[in-house]
Structure 1
Amino acid sequence: MSIKLAAYGDFINSITELHHLLAVRPVSPLVRRTDEAVQLENAVHRACLVLLVAHFEGFAKAALREYVDEICVVRPPARKLPPAFLELFTRDRIQEIASLPHGVERVHRTRKLFTAFSILWDEERSIDPQVISAKILARQMTSLKPDVLREAFALIGIDDIIDTTTSHLFAAGLSVRVDIKLEEIVNKRNSIAHGDYSVKPTSTELEDYLEFFMAVGKAFSYSVEKAIADTCTLRSVV
């Protein structure tokens, strides 16, 4: 099965916006800049970093949603899906029911839980798209912190996406610890978002971060594409 994530293409296209912003800078570095020009450049760079993190976070969530979309089209048997993935939707519905007050509605939903969601635990039954949700899966990715990414992508059967991506980048000639780099970028983004004006990314740093996220995005895409292929391969005929 050949899968190409639309989410990665959308992320690459979104980078154009950052290049437009980075074009807003003094014409020549040889010309002595006014305080206003320096402030403008700092503001643009800070905005670029916030946007870059937001675009990549959007890409990661979209990649998870694509996994669910493919499952809904192919409808593989439950045994092809990671148990943690199946448990996520069952748990989400249990929590929803538990929050309801005692009464007819709670009884009705509890009964429906056992009739509708039992299909998730019958290994040979095809998955029913009505009992899984791309929105619920994407909601598990709350930030670009390495541990959050590990947990979110483990739900679709990817064993430690951070270490896998680090190895992928190393094989491509990029020697970088993805977890450390992500922490650096996310911490800077958070500082800017919380009003810390001392954080002023340089042009060189931003170009480095752009290249990093493009490479990481490509590695993430490869891992998700493989997860989709592994899950959606049709059952062999006995």
Structure 2
Amino acid sequence: MSTKLAAYEDFVNSTAELNLLLAVRPHSPLVPRADEAIQLENAVHRACLVLLVAHFEGFAKGALSEYVDEVCAVRPPARKMPPAFLELFTRDRIQEIASLPPGVDRVHRTRRLFTAFSALWDQERTIDPQVISSKILSRQMTSLKPDVLRESFALIGIDDIIDSATSHLQGSGLSVRVDIKLEEIVNKRNLIAHGDYSVKPTSADLEDYVQFFMAVGDAFSTCVVRAIEEACTLRPPV
């Protein structure tokens, strides 16, 4: 497997769109008045921040989906998978069945639950891709809040992806608390999305945020690749 997730490469490529928007400057001949030019720049910067957060959220969900794709391709034995990962899909199907009205369909699905999902809990049986869904996993990540990210990536066996990312950044010479910085950026994005016009990130802010997300994305990619390798390496431990 590559040392980087395909989802991370897609995120890096998506930043080209932001660079195009950041190239907009207030001296554009299309906006002759200075105050209108400043409003244009503020609007572009606000839009860039919303886009940046959306692109990174897409990357994080894509990273989780990529884990599922690799697991489904290799089909390791259940003992190689994190228990929380196995429980997620079993629980999702139980909840689906419980929501059905009494009848033949609910009985049929309950019977199938025990035949199809029992393999997930037999340590030596290989994973059945038909009972695993990347959509179910990725939808656990409802925002970029640090606690949500921790919980989502814990499902694939990463103990604390935020602390891991912070250590990764510090090892690269960037002294920053990932959880604090994420909260700052996501809160600004939420204020903009809810119509708060007082939030006006500068071009320097945005360049800083892009570099931050690139570094955090690299750290996330490293963690997920390691998790994939742990799950999909079939040779017995030494």
TM-score using structure 1 length: 0.96
| Partner AA of 1:90 in structure 2 | T
Amino acid at match of 1:218: D
Structure 1: 5+ residue runs without aligned partners? none
Which amino acid in the other structure matches residue 86 of structure 1? Answer: L
Report what 1:104 is aligned to.
104
Which residue of the partner structure matches residue 168 of structure 2? 168
Alignment match, 2:89 = 89
Query: What is the distance in 1 between the residues matched to 2:132 and 2:235?
Result: 20
| 2:117 alignment partner, SS class | helix
Check whether the contact 1:75–1:128 (CA below 8 A) recurs between aligned residues: yes
Report percent identity of matched pairs: 81
Whole-Å separation in 2 of the counterparts to 1:5 and 1:184: 26
CA RMSD of aligned residues (A): 1.6
CA distance in 2: counterparts of 1:167 and 1:160, whole angstroms: 11
1:119 is matched by which residue type in structure 2?
A
Counterpart mapping for 1:152-191 below 5 A: 152-191=152-191
Q: CA deviation at 1:216?
A: 0.2
TM alignment of 1:37-116, pairs within 5 A: 37-116=37-116
Report the counterpart of residue 205 of structure 1 in structure 2.
Answer: 205
The answer on whether the counterparts of 2:67 and 2:224 sit within 8 Å (CA) in structure 1 is yes
Task: Describe the SS at the equivalent of 1:158.
Answer: coil
Match in the other structure for 1:149: 149
For residues 25-48 of structure 1, the C-alpha deviation after alignment (integer angstroms, 9 at most, x for no partner) is 1249xxx97110000000000000
Q: Which runs of 5+ in 2 are unaligned?
A: none
Partner of 1:138: 138
Is this contact kept in 1: 2:78–2:120, CA < 8 A?
A: yes
What's the secondary structure of 1:143's corresponding residue? coil
Which residue of structure 1 lines up, in the alignment, with residue 215 of structure 2? Answer: 215
The count of aligned residue pairs is 235
Distance 1:13 1:75 in 2: 30
Cα-to-partner distance string for 1:15-65 (whole Å, 9 max, x where unaligned): 00000000111249xxx9711000000000000000000000000000000
Does the 8 Å contact 1:46/1:201 carry over to 2?
yes
Q: Which residue of 2 aligns with 1:225?
A: 225
Most deviating of 111-120 and 227-236: 227-236
Q: CA deviation at 1:234?
A: 1.2
Give me the whole-angstrom Cα distance separating, in 2, the residues matched to 1:20 and 1:204.
Answer: 15
